[in-house]
Amino acid sequence: MTVIGHYSAFITKNIEKIRKLDVKLIASGHGLIWAKEPSETVKYYLELVKGTFKEHKATIIYGSMYGSVERALNKTVKVLRAKGFNVKA
């Protein structure tokens, strides 16, 4: 579970509050400033906290000290893409 998942109830509650506002900019305490289409950012965060499943999408996070894991991962990515997945590795 991520930090976002841990605080999902609080985030959901506060997103519902800010959805009623005419938000022009999102500037978090740290990170990016969202000036273009902040409503899309709000929608994205809501999907994260709800754990919305994206069909045919895979994100793979890995570490490879000597390259063997990376070689295996590259084969896995090829197989997933051949099956129609949008893969980010």
- The domain limits of the chain are 3-50, 57-88
- Decide if pLDDT at 68 tops 60: yes
Report the distance separating Cα 6 and Cα 49, nearest Å. Answer: 9
Measured at the alpha carbon of residue 73, what is the angle toward residues 68 and 79, in degrees to the nearest 5?
A: 135
pLDDT confidence of residue 3? 62
pLDDT score of 47 more than 90: no
pLDDT tops 70 at residue 1: no
**5-14: per-residue pLDDT in tens?**
678 888 889 9
Residue 89 CA, distance from chain mean position: 13
Distance, in Å, from the CA atom of 23 to the CA atom of 87, rounded to the nearest integer, reads 32
Indicate if the pLDDT at residue 73 is higher than 80. yes
Q: What is the mean pLDDT of residues 70-75?
A: 92
Task: Determine the residue type at 50.
Answer: K
Encoded amino acid at 38, one letter: P
- The CA distance from 14 to 37, in Å, is 18
Q: Is the pTM of this model over 0.85?
A: no
* Confidence (pLDDT) at 54: 76
